[in-house]
A and B are shown apart, each in its own frame.
Chain A
Protein backbone atom coordinates (compact mmCIF):
# COMPACT_ATOMS: atom_id res chain seq x y z
CA UNK A 1 0.00 0.00 0.00
CA UNK A 2 2.77 2.42 1.07
CA UNK A 3 4.83 1.76 -2.04
CA UNK A 4 1.77 2.30 -4.22
CA UNK A 5 1.35 5.80 -2.78
CA UNK A 6 5.05 6.59 -3.26
CA UNK A 7 4.89 5.25 -6.78
CA UNK A 8 1.94 7.36 -7.75
CA UNK A 9 3.48 10.43 -6.16
CA UNK A 10 6.73 9.87 -8.05
CA UNK A 11 4.72 9.41 -11.20
CA UNK A 12 2.90 12.66 -10.58
CA UNK A 13 6.10 14.59 -10.03
CA UNK A 14 7.75 13.01 -13.04
CA UNK A 15 4.80 14.01 -15.20
CA UNK A 16 4.46 17.56 -13.98
CA UNK A 17 5.19 20.18 -16.61
CA UNK A 18 8.11 21.51 -14.59
CA UNK A 19 9.79 18.13 -14.41
CA UNK A 20 9.16 17.11 -18.00
CA UNK A 21 10.31 20.49 -19.27
CA UNK A 22 13.59 20.35 -17.41
CA UNK A 23 14.23 16.69 -18.17
CA UNK A 24 13.94 17.35 -21.89
CA UNK A 25 15.79 20.65 -21.76
CA UNK A 26 18.57 19.24 -19.61
CA UNK A 27 21.08 18.56 -22.42
CA UNK A 28 20.83 22.15 -23.56
CA UNK A 29 21.02 23.64 -20.09
CA UNK A 30 24.08 21.56 -19.28
CA UNK A 31 25.73 22.46 -22.59
CA UNK A 32 24.81 26.11 -22.31
CA UNK A 33 26.42 26.44 -18.91
CA UNK A 34 29.51 24.33 -19.63
CA UNK A 35 30.24 25.11 -23.25
CA UNK A 36 28.94 28.66 -23.65
CA UNK A 37 28.47 30.53 -20.39
CA UNK A 38 31.57 29.41 -18.53
CA UNK A 39 33.88 29.81 -21.55
CA UNK A 40 32.55 33.25 -22.35
CA UNK A 41 32.95 34.46 -18.79
CA UNK A 42 36.42 32.91 -18.56
CA UNK A 43 37.27 34.67 -21.77
CA UNK A 44 36.22 37.98 -20.27
CA UNK A 45 38.47 37.39 -17.28
CA UNK A 46 41.45 36.46 -19.46
CA UNK A 47 40.92 39.56 -21.56
CA UNK A 48 42.21 41.62 -18.66
CA UNK A 49 45.30 39.50 -18.05
CA UNK A 50 48.53 38.64 -19.82
CA UNK A 51 47.65 34.95 -19.70
CA UNK A 52 49.57 32.55 -21.88
CA UNK A 53 49.55 28.79 -22.11
CA UNK A 54 52.21 27.07 -20.01
CA UNK A 55 53.19 30.07 -17.93
CA UNK A 56 52.53 29.63 -14.25
CA UNK A 57 51.79 33.22 -13.45
CA UNK A 58 49.01 35.33 -14.77
CA UNK A 59 48.97 39.00 -14.12
CA UNK A 60 46.05 41.32 -14.13
CA UNK A 61 46.84 44.06 -16.62
CA UNK A 62 43.63 46.05 -16.57
CA UNK A 63 42.61 47.50 -19.89
CA UNK A 64 46.09 47.19 -21.38
CA UNK A 65 45.03 44.55 -23.91
CA UNK A 66 42.24 46.71 -25.20
CA UNK A 67 44.54 49.74 -25.34
CA UNK A 68 47.03 47.70 -27.31
CA UNK A 69 44.30 46.78 -29.82
CA UNK A 70 43.95 50.39 -30.84
CA UNK A 71 47.61 50.68 -31.71
CA UNK A 72 48.03 47.23 -33.26
CA UNK A 73 48.18 47.94 -36.97
CA UNK A 74 47.59 44.35 -38.02
CA UNK A 75 44.50 44.31 -35.84
CA UNK A 76 43.14 47.51 -37.32
CA UNK A 77 43.83 46.21 -40.79
CA UNK A 78 42.13 42.90 -40.07
CA UNK A 79 39.12 44.76 -38.71
CA UNK A 80 38.89 46.83 -41.91
CA UNK A 81 39.32 43.80 -44.13
CA UNK A 82 36.74 41.77 -42.28
CA UNK A 83 34.19 44.59 -42.47
CA UNK A 84 34.86 44.93 -46.18
CA UNK A 85 34.47 41.20 -46.64
CA UNK A 86 31.17 41.19 -44.76
CA UNK A 87 29.72 44.23 -46.49
CA UNK A 88 30.50 42.91 -49.96
CA UNK A 89 29.88 39.20 -49.60
CA UNK A 90 26.68 39.11 -47.52
CA UNK A 91 24.46 41.33 -49.70
CA UNK A 92 25.69 39.68 -52.90
CA UNK A 93 25.12 36.25 -51.48
CA UNK A 94 21.58 37.04 -50.34
CA UNK A 95 20.64 38.66 -53.65
CA UNK A 96 21.85 35.63 -55.55
CA UNK A 97 20.16 33.24 -53.16
CA UNK A 98 16.84 35.05 -53.41
CA UNK A 99 16.90 35.46 -57.19
CA UNK A 100 17.82 31.86 -57.84
CA UNK A 101 15.28 30.59 -55.32
CA UNK A 102 12.64 32.75 -56.99
CA UNK A 103 13.52 31.59 -60.49
CA UNK A 104 13.45 27.99 -59.36
CA UNK A 105 9.94 28.15 -57.95
CA UNK A 106 8.64 27.48 -61.46
CA UNK A 107 7.01 24.12 -61.33
CA UNK A 108 9.06 21.90 -63.57
CA UNK A 109 10.01 18.30 -63.21
CA UNK A 110 13.61 19.39 -63.16
CA UNK A 111 13.16 21.73 -60.21
CA UNK A 112 14.64 19.35 -57.66
CA UNK A 113 17.60 18.64 -59.92
CA UNK A 114 18.26 22.33 -60.50
CA UNK A 115 18.02 23.18 -56.87
CA UNK A 116 20.48 20.41 -56.05
CA UNK A 117 22.84 21.72 -58.70
CA UNK A 118 22.92 25.15 -57.09
CA UNK A 119 23.19 23.65 -53.66
CA UNK A 120 26.34 21.67 -54.44
CA UNK A 121 28.76 24.56 -53.71
CA UNK A 122 27.24 25.02 -50.25
CA UNK A 123 27.39 21.33 -49.66
CA UNK A 124 31.10 21.08 -50.31
CA UNK A 125 32.21 24.70 -49.96
CA UNK A 126 33.26 24.51 -46.34
CA UNK A 127 35.59 21.65 -46.99
CA UNK A 128 39.31 21.94 -47.12
CA UNK A 129 39.24 20.25 -50.52
CA UNK A 130 37.34 23.06 -52.17
CA UNK A 131 39.48 25.71 -50.52
CA UNK A 132 42.54 24.06 -52.03
CA UNK A 133 40.85 23.95 -55.43
CA UNK A 134 40.05 27.64 -55.11
CA UNK A 135 43.66 28.37 -54.35
CA UNK A 136 44.63 26.59 -57.54
CA UNK A 137 41.92 28.28 -59.64
CA UNK A 138 43.23 31.72 -58.78
CA UNK A 139 46.90 30.79 -58.81
CA UNK A 140 49.28 32.69 -61.04
CA UNK A 141 49.08 29.96 -63.66
CA UNK A 142 45.65 28.91 -62.55
CA UNK A 143 42.44 28.37 -64.40
CA UNK A 144 41.15 31.93 -64.17
CA UNK A 145 44.29 33.40 -65.62
CA UNK A 146 44.26 30.94 -68.48
CA UNK A 147 40.67 31.93 -69.29
CA UNK A 148 41.72 35.57 -69.23
CA UNK A 149 44.71 34.71 -71.37
CA UNK A 150 42.46 33.19 -73.97
CA UNK A 151 40.37 36.33 -74.01
CA UNK A 152 43.52 38.32 -74.62
CA UNK A 153 43.74 39.83 -71.14
CA UNK A 154 46.84 40.04 -68.99
CA UNK A 155 47.01 37.51 -66.18
CA UNK A 156 46.36 38.84 -62.71
CA UNK A 157 48.40 37.79 -59.74
CA UNK A 158 45.38 37.43 -57.44
CA UNK A 159 47.11 36.26 -54.32
CA UNK A 160 50.20 38.38 -54.86
CA UNK A 161 48.46 41.71 -54.59
CA UNK A 162 47.12 42.63 -51.18
CA UNK A 163 44.42 44.81 -52.73
CA UNK A 164 43.06 41.93 -54.83
CA UNK A 165 43.61 38.90 -52.63
CA UNK A 166 40.37 39.40 -50.72
CA UNK A 167 38.15 39.15 -53.79
CA UNK A 168 38.65 35.45 -54.55
CA UNK A 169 37.62 34.83 -50.93
CA UNK A 170 34.55 37.04 -51.34
CA UNK A 171 33.66 35.20 -54.52
CA UNK A 172 34.02 31.89 -52.76
CA UNK A 173 31.59 32.98 -50.07
CA UNK A 174 29.06 34.28 -52.60
CA UNK A 175 29.42 31.08 -54.59
CA UNK A 176 28.03 29.22 -51.58
CA UNK A 177 24.64 30.90 -51.64
CA UNK A 178 22.89 27.51 -51.61
CA UNK A 179 22.02 27.25 -47.95
CA UNK A 180 20.36 30.68 -47.91
CA UNK A 181 18.65 29.72 -51.15
CA UNK A 182 17.13 26.63 -49.54
CA UNK A 183 15.73 28.71 -46.70
CA UNK A 184 14.31 31.24 -49.16
CA UNK A 185 12.83 28.40 -51.20
CA UNK A 186 11.09 27.04 -48.12
CA UNK A 187 9.69 30.51 -47.45
CA UNK A 188 8.56 31.06 -51.04
CA UNK A 189 6.59 27.83 -50.90
CA UNK A 190 4.47 29.27 -48.13
CA UNK A 191 3.39 32.40 -49.95
CA UNK A 192 -0.19 31.81 -50.97
CA UNK A 193 -0.59 31.54 -54.76
CA UNK A 194 -3.82 33.53 -54.48
CA UNK A 195 -1.74 36.70 -53.89
CA UNK A 196 0.01 36.23 -57.21
CA UNK A 197 -3.28 35.32 -58.87
CA UNK A 198 -4.89 38.54 -57.64
CA UNK A 199 -1.90 40.60 -58.73
CA UNK A 200 -1.99 39.00 -62.17
CA UNK A 201 -5.65 39.86 -62.57
CA UNK A 202 -4.83 43.44 -61.58
CA UNK A 203 -2.33 43.47 -64.42
CA UNK A 204 0.91 43.27 -62.43
CA UNK A 205 3.93 41.88 -64.24
CA UNK A 206 6.53 39.52 -62.81
CA UNK A 207 8.79 42.28 -61.50
CA UNK A 208 5.91 44.11 -59.83
CA UNK A 209 4.58 41.05 -58.10
CA UNK A 210 8.13 40.21 -56.97
CA UNK A 211 8.58 43.65 -55.43
CA UNK A 212 5.09 43.96 -53.98
CA UNK A 213 4.31 40.41 -52.94
CA UNK A 214 7.40 38.26 -52.71
CA UNK A 215 9.69 40.73 -50.96
CA UNK A 216 7.26 41.79 -48.20
CA UNK A 217 6.09 38.23 -47.56
CA UNK A 218 9.65 37.02 -47.41
CA UNK A 219 11.01 39.91 -45.33
CA UNK A 220 11.15 37.98 -42.01
CA UNK A 221 13.18 35.30 -43.75
CA UNK A 222 15.42 37.87 -45.37
CA UNK A 223 16.07 39.26 -41.91
CA UNK A 224 16.90 35.79 -40.58
CA UNK A 225 19.30 35.05 -43.43
CA UNK A 226 20.86 38.48 -43.16
CA UNK A 227 21.61 38.08 -39.47
CA UNK A 228 22.90 34.51 -39.76
CA UNK A 229 25.05 35.19 -42.81
CA UNK A 230 26.50 38.35 -41.31
CA UNK A 231 27.57 36.50 -38.19
CA UNK A 232 29.00 33.70 -40.27
CA UNK A 233 30.90 36.08 -42.53
CA UNK A 234 32.47 37.83 -39.56
CA UNK A 235 33.84 34.51 -38.43
CA UNK A 236 35.25 33.32 -41.77
CA UNK A 237 38.37 31.39 -41.00
CA UNK A 238 39.07 28.28 -43.03
CA UNK A 239 39.32 29.94 -46.46
CA UNK A 240 41.77 32.57 -45.29
CA UNK A 241 43.76 30.05 -43.27
CA UNK A 242 44.07 27.58 -46.13
CA UNK A 243 44.16 29.74 -49.23
CA UNK A 244 46.19 32.77 -48.28
CA UNK A 245 47.27 32.27 -44.66
CA UNK A 246 46.37 35.93 -44.20
CA UNK A 247 48.80 37.18 -46.83
CA UNK A 248 50.01 38.93 -48.81
CA UNK A 249 51.08 41.65 -46.41
CA UNK A 250 48.09 40.80 -44.19
CA UNK A 251 45.75 41.67 -47.04
CA UNK A 252 43.45 38.77 -46.14
CA UNK A 253 44.10 38.67 -42.41
CA UNK A 254 40.52 37.93 -41.46
CA UNK A 255 39.59 38.70 -37.88
CA UNK A 256 39.09 35.08 -36.83
CA UNK A 257 42.42 34.15 -38.34
CA UNK A 258 44.21 36.90 -36.46
CA UNK A 259 42.60 35.78 -33.20
CA UNK A 260 43.73 32.23 -33.94
CA UNK A 261 47.27 33.37 -34.72
CA UNK A 262 47.52 35.48 -31.58
CA UNK A 263 46.24 32.63 -29.43
CA UNK A 264 47.83 29.55 -30.90
CA UNK A 265 50.79 30.83 -32.90
CA UNK A 266 52.12 33.53 -30.59
CA UNK A 267 50.49 32.22 -27.40
CA UNK A 268 49.06 35.61 -26.43
CA UNK A 269 45.93 34.09 -24.94
CA UNK A 270 44.92 37.15 -22.93
CA UNK A 271 45.29 39.45 -25.89
CA UNK A 272 43.37 37.04 -28.14
CA UNK A 273 40.53 36.92 -25.61
CA UNK A 274 40.38 40.69 -25.61
CA UNK A 275 40.12 40.55 -29.40
CA UNK A 276 37.32 37.99 -29.20
CA UNK A 277 35.40 40.19 -26.85
CA UNK A 278 35.91 43.24 -28.98
CA UNK A 279 34.53 41.25 -31.91
CA UNK A 280 31.56 40.09 -29.88
CA UNK A 281 30.70 43.70 -29.04
CA UNK A 282 31.07 44.84 -32.66
CA UNK A 283 28.85 42.01 -33.84
CA UNK A 284 26.24 42.67 -31.18
CA UNK A 285 26.12 46.29 -32.30
CA UNK A 286 25.73 45.36 -35.95
CA UNK A 287 23.04 42.79 -35.17
CA UNK A 288 21.28 45.38 -33.05
CA UNK A 289 21.38 47.89 -35.89
CA UNK A 290 19.97 45.28 -38.26
CA UNK A 291 17.14 44.47 -35.87
CA UNK A 292 16.38 48.13 -35.17
CA UNK A 293 16.20 49.05 -38.86
CA UNK A 294 14.31 45.86 -39.63
CA UNK A 295 11.21 47.34 -38.00
CA UNK A 296 10.84 49.58 -41.00
CA UNK A 297 11.23 46.92 -43.67
CA UNK A 298 10.11 43.64 -42.16
CA UNK A 299 6.49 43.02 -42.86
CA UNK A 300 4.50 41.13 -40.25
CA UNK A 301 1.28 39.42 -41.10
CA UNK A 302 -0.46 40.67 -38.00
CA UNK A 303 -0.27 44.03 -39.72
CA UNK A 304 0.78 47.35 -38.29
Chain B
Protein backbone atom coordinates (compact mmCIF):
# COMPACT_ATOMS: atom_id res chain seq x y z
CA UNK B 1 0.00 0.00 0.00
CA UNK B 2 1.49 3.31 -0.96
CA UNK B 3 0.92 6.89 -1.92
CA UNK B 4 2.17 8.26 -5.23
CA UNK B 5 3.85 11.63 -5.59
CA UNK B 6 4.43 13.14 -9.00
CA UNK B 7 6.52 16.31 -9.12
CA UNK B 8 6.96 18.37 -12.28
CA UNK B 9 6.94 15.21 -14.42
CA UNK B 10 7.91 15.67 -18.08
CA UNK B 11 7.46 13.15 -20.89
CA UNK B 12 8.55 13.68 -24.51
CA UNK B 13 8.14 11.46 -27.55
CA UNK B 14 10.87 12.37 -29.99
CA UNK B 15 10.63 16.14 -30.19
CA UNK B 16 7.02 16.27 -29.01
CA UNK B 17 6.25 17.07 -25.39
CA UNK B 18 3.30 14.98 -24.29
CA UNK B 19 3.36 15.91 -20.60
CA UNK B 20 4.92 19.32 -19.94
CA UNK B 21 5.47 19.27 -16.18
CA UNK B 22 2.74 17.61 -14.12
CA UNK B 23 2.21 17.59 -10.34
CA UNK B 24 -0.12 15.18 -8.58
CA UNK B 25 -0.44 13.66 -5.13
CA UNK B 26 -2.29 10.37 -4.83
CA UNK B 27 -3.06 9.24 -1.30
CA UNK B 28 -2.60 5.71 -0.02
CA UNK B 29 -5.63 3.49 -0.79
CA UNK B 30 -7.13 6.18 -2.98
CA UNK B 31 -9.02 5.34 -6.18
CA UNK B 32 -7.90 7.95 -8.72
CA UNK B 33 -9.40 8.13 -12.21
CA UNK B 34 -7.48 9.91 -14.97
CA UNK B 35 -9.99 11.06 -17.54
CA UNK B 36 -9.75 13.05 -20.73
CA UNK B 37 -10.17 12.80 -24.50
CA UNK B 38 -7.83 10.74 -26.73
CA UNK B 39 -4.34 12.15 -26.80
CA UNK B 40 -4.64 14.01 -23.49
CA UNK B 41 -1.68 12.12 -22.03
CA UNK B 42 -3.61 10.02 -19.52
CA UNK B 43 -2.41 6.67 -20.85
CA UNK B 44 1.12 8.04 -21.18
CA UNK B 45 1.04 9.10 -17.55
CA UNK B 46 -0.12 5.60 -16.55
CA UNK B 47 2.65 3.97 -18.60
CA UNK B 48 5.18 6.28 -16.98
CA UNK B 49 3.86 5.24 -13.55
CA UNK B 50 4.16 1.59 -14.63
CA UNK B 51 7.73 2.03 -15.80
CA UNK B 52 6.92 1.11 -19.40
CA UNK B 53 8.01 4.60 -20.49
CA UNK B 54 11.08 6.50 -19.29
CA UNK B 55 10.70 9.80 -17.44
CA UNK B 56 12.25 12.83 -19.14
CA UNK B 57 12.09 15.19 -16.20
CA UNK B 58 10.77 15.64 -12.71
CA UNK B 59 10.31 13.05 -10.02
CA UNK B 60 8.09 10.04 -9.36
CA UNK B 61 7.75 8.57 -5.90
CA UNK B 62 5.84 5.43 -4.94
CA UNK B 63 5.57 5.46 -1.16
CA UNK B 64 8.71 7.20 -0.02
CA UNK B 65 10.86 5.60 -2.72
CA UNK B 66 11.98 7.51 -5.79
CA UNK B 67 11.29 5.20 -8.73
CA UNK B 68 12.40 7.29 -11.74
CA UNK B 69 15.10 4.78 -12.67
CA UNK B 70 13.49 1.68 -11.14
CA UNK B 71 12.44 -0.89 -13.80
CA UNK B 72 8.77 -1.85 -14.09
CA UNK B 73 9.23 -5.22 -12.41
CA UNK B 74 10.75 -3.66 -9.29
CA UNK B 75 8.15 -0.92 -8.77
CA UNK B 76 5.74 -3.28 -7.07
CA UNK B 77 2.86 -2.28 -9.28
CA UNK B 78 0.39 -4.37 -11.28
CA UNK B 79 -1.28 -3.30 -14.49
CA UNK B 80 -4.48 -4.33 -16.23
CA UNK B 81 -4.22 -3.57 -19.94
CA UNK B 82 -6.92 -2.43 -22.32
CA UNK B 83 -6.66 -5.67 -24.32
CA UNK B 84 -5.91 -7.58 -21.07
CA UNK B 85 -2.52 -8.76 -22.47
CA UNK B 86 -3.05 -12.28 -21.17
CA UNK B 87 -0.46 -14.81 -22.30
CA UNK B 88 -2.55 -16.55 -24.98
CA UNK B 89 -0.68 -19.86 -24.86
CA UNK B 90 -1.03 -20.28 -21.10
CA UNK B 91 -4.03 -21.40 -19.08
CA UNK B 92 -5.65 -18.97 -16.67
CA UNK B 93 -3.76 -20.64 -13.82
CA UNK B 94 -0.42 -20.31 -15.64
CA UNK B 95 -1.19 -16.69 -16.50
CA UNK B 96 -1.75 -15.91 -12.85
CA UNK B 97 1.29 -17.89 -11.72
CA UNK B 98 3.77 -16.36 -14.16
CA UNK B 99 4.77 -13.24 -12.22
CA UNK B 100 5.10 -15.23 -8.99
CA UNK B 101 7.25 -17.85 -10.71
CA UNK B 102 9.48 -15.09 -12.03
CA UNK B 103 9.94 -13.92 -8.44
CA UNK B 104 10.79 -17.41 -7.28
CA UNK B 105 7.74 -17.86 -5.06
CA UNK B 106 7.23 -21.38 -3.64
CA UNK B 107 4.79 -23.49 -5.74
CA UNK B 108 2.55 -24.15 -2.72
CA UNK B 109 2.26 -20.43 -2.03
CA UNK B 110 1.55 -19.72 -5.70
CA UNK B 111 -1.25 -22.30 -5.69
CA UNK B 112 -2.86 -20.84 -2.58
CA UNK B 113 -2.64 -17.27 -3.90
CA UNK B 114 -4.23 -18.30 -7.18
CA UNK B 115 -6.97 -20.15 -5.32
CA UNK B 116 -7.66 -17.11 -3.17
CA UNK B 117 -7.77 -14.66 -6.10
CA UNK B 118 -9.85 -17.04 -8.19
CA UNK B 119 -12.41 -17.31 -5.40
CA UNK B 120 -12.50 -13.54 -4.97
CA UNK B 121 -13.08 -13.02 -8.70
CA UNK B 122 -15.30 -16.05 -9.22
CA UNK B 123 -13.08 -17.55 -11.93
CA UNK B 124 -12.33 -20.93 -10.36
CA UNK B 125 -14.19 -22.91 -13.07
CA UNK B 126 -11.96 -21.41 -15.76
CA UNK B 127 -8.54 -21.94 -14.19
CA UNK B 128 -7.52 -24.59 -16.72
CA UNK B 129 -8.86 -22.83 -19.79
CA UNK B 130 -6.86 -20.71 -22.17
CA UNK B 131 -7.82 -17.05 -22.73
CA UNK B 132 -9.19 -17.90 -26.19
CA UNK B 133 -11.92 -20.00 -24.54
CA UNK B 134 -13.09 -17.15 -22.30
CA UNK B 135 -15.57 -14.34 -22.89
CA UNK B 136 -14.48 -10.69 -22.72
CA UNK B 137 -15.76 -10.30 -19.18
CA UNK B 138 -14.01 -13.48 -18.03
CA UNK B 139 -10.73 -12.36 -19.60
CA UNK B 140 -11.10 -9.07 -17.81
CA UNK B 141 -11.39 -10.89 -14.49
CA UNK B 142 -8.39 -13.05 -15.25
CA UNK B 143 -6.38 -9.91 -16.00
CA UNK B 144 -7.45 -8.58 -12.60
CA UNK B 145 -6.61 -11.91 -10.99
CA UNK B 146 -3.14 -11.80 -12.48
CA UNK B 147 -2.71 -8.38 -10.90
CA UNK B 148 -4.16 -9.37 -7.52
CA UNK B 149 -1.97 -12.43 -6.90
CA UNK B 150 1.07 -10.19 -7.00
CA UNK B 151 -0.20 -8.25 -4.01
CA UNK B 152 1.09 -4.96 -5.43
CA UNK B 153 1.35 -1.55 -3.78
CA UNK B 154 -0.44 0.10 -6.68
CA UNK B 155 -2.92 -1.13 -9.29
CA UNK B 156 -2.88 0.54 -12.68
CA UNK B 157 -5.82 0.15 -15.07
CA UNK B 158 -5.56 1.23 -18.71
CA UNK B 159 -9.12 1.57 -20.04
CA UNK B 160 -9.92 -2.01 -18.99
CA UNK B 161 -13.64 -1.75 -19.69
CA UNK B 162 -13.54 -0.37 -23.21
CA UNK B 163 -13.71 -3.79 -24.87
CA UNK B 164 -16.82 -4.87 -22.97
CA UNK B 165 -20.42 -4.40 -24.02
CA UNK B 166 -22.48 -1.76 -22.25
CA UNK B 167 -24.25 -4.08 -19.82
CA UNK B 168 -21.11 -5.92 -18.79
CA UNK B 169 -19.26 -2.64 -18.44
CA UNK B 170 -21.69 -1.44 -15.81
CA UNK B 171 -21.37 -4.72 -13.94
CA UNK B 172 -17.56 -4.88 -14.02
CA UNK B 173 -17.39 -1.19 -13.04
CA UNK B 174 -19.24 -1.96 -9.85
CA UNK B 175 -17.10 -5.06 -9.25
CA UNK B 176 -13.85 -3.13 -9.57
CA UNK B 177 -15.12 -0.50 -7.18
CA UNK B 178 -16.08 -3.14 -4.62
CA UNK B 179 -12.77 -4.88 -5.12
CA UNK B 180 -10.91 -1.66 -4.41
CA UNK B 181 -12.72 -1.38 -1.10
CA UNK B 182 -11.77 -4.97 -0.22
CA UNK B 183 -8.14 -4.84 -1.31
CA UNK B 184 -7.39 -1.41 0.19
CA UNK B 185 -4.76 -0.71 -2.48
CA UNK B 186 -3.98 2.51 -4.29
CA UNK B 187 -5.61 2.39 -7.72
CA UNK B 188 -5.03 4.54 -10.77
CA UNK B 189 -7.62 4.03 -13.47
CA UNK B 190 -7.46 5.56 -16.93
CA UNK B 191 -10.60 6.07 -19.01
CA UNK B 192 -12.06 8.39 -21.60
CA UNK B 193 -15.53 7.61 -20.29
CA UNK B 194 -16.72 10.25 -17.87
CA UNK B 195 -19.39 7.93 -16.48
CA UNK B 196 -16.68 5.48 -15.38
CA UNK B 197 -14.79 8.38 -13.85
CA UNK B 198 -17.82 9.70 -11.96
CA UNK B 199 -18.97 6.32 -10.67
CA UNK B 200 -15.66 4.82 -9.56
CA UNK B 201 -13.33 7.59 -8.46
CA UNK B 202 -12.52 8.88 -5.02
CA UNK B 203 -10.98 11.75 -6.95
CA UNK B 204 -11.07 12.53 -10.65
CA UNK B 205 -8.13 14.01 -12.54
CA UNK B 206 -9.35 15.70 -15.73
CA UNK B 207 -6.60 16.07 -18.32
CA UNK B 208 -6.22 17.85 -21.62
CA UNK B 209 -3.08 18.10 -23.75
CA UNK B 210 -0.90 16.71 -20.97
CA UNK B 211 -2.07 19.31 -18.47
CA UNK B 212 -4.27 18.65 -15.46
CA UNK B 213 -7.42 20.77 -15.79
CA UNK B 214 -8.94 19.91 -12.44
CA UNK B 215 -8.53 17.45 -9.58
CA UNK B 216 -11.45 16.82 -7.28
CA UNK B 217 -14.12 14.46 -6.05
CA UNK B 218 -16.76 13.53 -8.63
CA UNK B 219 -19.17 15.99 -6.95
CA UNK B 220 -16.66 18.85 -7.02
CA UNK B 221 -15.79 18.28 -10.65
CA UNK B 222 -19.43 18.00 -11.64
CA UNK B 223 -20.82 20.84 -9.60
CA UNK B 224 -17.92 23.26 -9.77
CA UNK B 225 -16.01 22.62 -13.00
CA UNK B 226 -12.82 24.67 -13.12
CA UNK B 227 -13.18 25.70 -16.74
CA UNK B 228 -15.18 25.31 -19.95
CA UNK B 229 -13.30 22.13 -20.87
CA UNK B 230 -14.10 20.31 -17.63
CA UNK B 231 -17.67 21.62 -17.73
CA UNK B 232 -18.19 20.22 -21.22
CA UNK B 233 -16.29 16.96 -20.69
CA UNK B 234 -17.91 15.85 -17.44
CA UNK B 235 -21.63 15.21 -17.62
CA UNK B 236 -23.75 13.55 -20.29
CA UNK B 237 -25.35 15.15 -22.19
CA UNK B 238 -22.83 17.93 -21.99
CA UNK B 239 -23.45 21.27 -20.30
CA UNK B 240 -25.17 23.88 -22.51
CA UNK B 241 -23.21 27.04 -23.23
CA UNK B 242 -24.88 30.33 -24.15
CA UNK B 243 -23.20 33.71 -24.72
CA UNK B 244 -24.50 36.51 -22.50
CA UNK B 245 -23.94 40.28 -22.32
CA UNK B 246 -23.26 41.72 -18.89
CA UNK B 247 -25.66 44.63 -18.24
CA UNK B 248 -26.53 46.79 -15.26
CA UNK B 249 -29.73 44.89 -14.50
CA UNK B 250 -28.45 41.35 -15.12
CA UNK B 251 -27.27 39.07 -17.89
CA UNK B 252 -28.87 39.43 -21.31
CA UNK B 253 -29.11 36.43 -23.67
CA UNK B 254 -28.81 36.62 -27.44
CA UNK B 255 -32.59 36.68 -27.92
CA UNK B 256 -32.89 39.73 -25.65
CA UNK B 257 -34.27 37.94 -22.61
CA UNK B 258 -32.84 38.96 -19.26
CA UNK B 259 -31.63 36.65 -16.48
CA UNK B 260 -32.31 38.47 -13.20
CA UNK B 261 -29.64 38.63 -10.47
CA UNK B 262 -31.80 36.43 -8.28
CA UNK B 263 -31.04 33.49 -10.56
CA UNK B 264 -27.38 34.08 -11.15
CA UNK B 265 -25.13 36.64 -9.49
CA UNK B 266 -23.40 39.10 -11.76
CA UNK B 267 -19.63 38.62 -11.36
CA UNK B 268 -17.35 41.35 -10.17
CA UNK B 269 -14.74 42.52 -12.66
CA UNK B 270 -15.11 44.33 -15.91
CA UNK B 271 -16.48 41.67 -18.27
CA UNK B 272 -18.76 42.71 -21.12
CA UNK B 273 -19.46 39.26 -22.46
CA UNK B 274 -19.49 35.91 -20.67
CA UNK B 275 -20.39 32.32 -21.41
CA UNK B 276 -23.29 30.96 -19.42
CA UNK B 277 -23.15 27.24 -18.67
CA UNK B 278 -26.24 25.29 -17.64
CA UNK B 279 -26.51 21.52 -17.31
CA UNK B 280 -29.55 19.94 -19.03
CA UNK B 281 -31.11 19.03 -15.68
CA UNK B 282 -30.73 22.56 -14.30
CA UNK B 283 -33.45 24.15 -16.41
CA UNK B 284 -36.87 24.88 -15.01
CA UNK B 285 -39.99 25.21 -17.12
CA UNK B 286 -41.63 28.56 -16.47
CA UNK B 287 -44.87 30.22 -17.50
CA UNK B 288 -45.40 31.43 -21.03
CA UNK B 289 -43.74 34.74 -21.72
CA UNK B 290 -41.18 34.40 -18.94
CA UNK B 291 -37.53 33.33 -19.26
CA UNK B 292 -36.08 31.97 -22.44
CA UNK B 293 -38.43 31.07 -25.27
CA UNK B 294 -37.61 27.73 -26.84
CA UNK B 295 -39.05 25.48 -29.54
CA UNK B 296 -38.79 21.72 -29.18
CA UNK B 297 -36.97 20.14 -32.12
CA UNK B 298 -36.36 16.61 -30.95
CA UNK B 299 -37.51 14.46 -28.04
CA UNK B 300 -35.37 11.57 -26.74
CA UNK B 301 -37.21 9.52 -24.10
CA UNK B 302 -34.73 7.63 -21.88
CA UNK B 303 -37.41 6.10 -19.67
CA UNK B 304 -36.23 7.52 -16.36
CA UNK B 305 -36.25 10.99 -17.86
CA UNK B 306 -36.55 12.64 -21.26
CA UNK B 307 -34.01 14.70 -23.16
CA UNK B 308 -35.47 17.53 -25.14
CA UNK B 309 -33.46 19.27 -27.83
CA UNK B 310 -34.73 22.80 -28.19
CA UNK B 311 -33.79 25.81 -30.23
CA UNK B 312 -33.37 28.77 -27.91
CA UNK B 313 -31.59 32.11 -28.27
CA UNK B 314 -30.47 31.04 -31.72
CA UNK B 315 -28.76 27.78 -30.77
CA UNK B 316 -29.44 24.20 -29.78
CA UNK B 317 -29.90 23.54 -26.09
CA UNK B 318 -30.53 20.19 -24.41
CA UNK B 319 -32.95 20.07 -21.50
CA UNK B 320 -33.63 17.11 -19.22
CA UNK B 321 -37.28 16.92 -18.15
CA UNK B 322 -39.55 14.49 -16.38
CA UNK B 323 -41.13 11.91 -18.73
CA UNK B 324 -44.52 12.80 -17.24
CA UNK B 325 -44.34 16.07 -19.14
CA UNK B 326 -44.75 14.26 -22.50
CA UNK B 327 -43.14 16.99 -24.59
CA UNK B 328 -43.86 17.07 -28.33
CA UNK B 329 -41.74 18.29 -31.24
CA UNK B 330 -42.77 21.74 -32.44
CA UNK B 331 -44.12 22.68 -29.02
CA UNK B 332 -43.03 26.03 -27.55
CA UNK B 333 -41.77 26.13 -23.97
CA UNK B 334 -40.20 28.73 -21.69
CA UNK B 335 -37.04 27.93 -19.74
CA UNK B 336 -35.21 29.43 -16.83
CA UNK B 337 -31.98 28.28 -15.16
CA UNK B 338 -32.49 26.85 -11.67
CA UNK B 339 -31.39 29.34 -9.06
CA UNK B 340 -27.71 29.02 -8.16
CA UNK B 341 -27.08 26.18 -10.61
CA UNK B 342 -25.81 28.07 -13.64
CA UNK B 343 -22.13 28.88 -14.15
CA UNK B 344 -20.34 31.74 -15.83
CA UNK B 345 -17.10 31.38 -17.74
CA UNK B 346 -14.70 33.96 -19.13
CA UNK B 347 -14.85 33.33 -22.90
CA UNK B 348 -11.20 34.41 -23.28
CA UNK B 349 -9.52 32.34 -20.56
CA UNK B 350 -12.31 29.72 -20.41
CA UNK B 351 -12.02 29.81 -16.60
CA UNK B 352 -15.14 29.70 -14.43
CA UNK B 353 -15.70 33.05 -12.73
CA UNK B 354 -18.99 32.67 -10.87
CA UNK B 355 -19.24 32.05 -7.11
CA UNK B 356 -16.02 33.20 -5.51
CA UNK B 357 -15.02 34.86 -8.76
CA UNK B 358 -12.54 32.16 -9.75
CA UNK B 359 -12.27 28.42 -9.99
CA UNK B 360 -11.87 26.46 -6.80
Q: Does B bind A? A: no
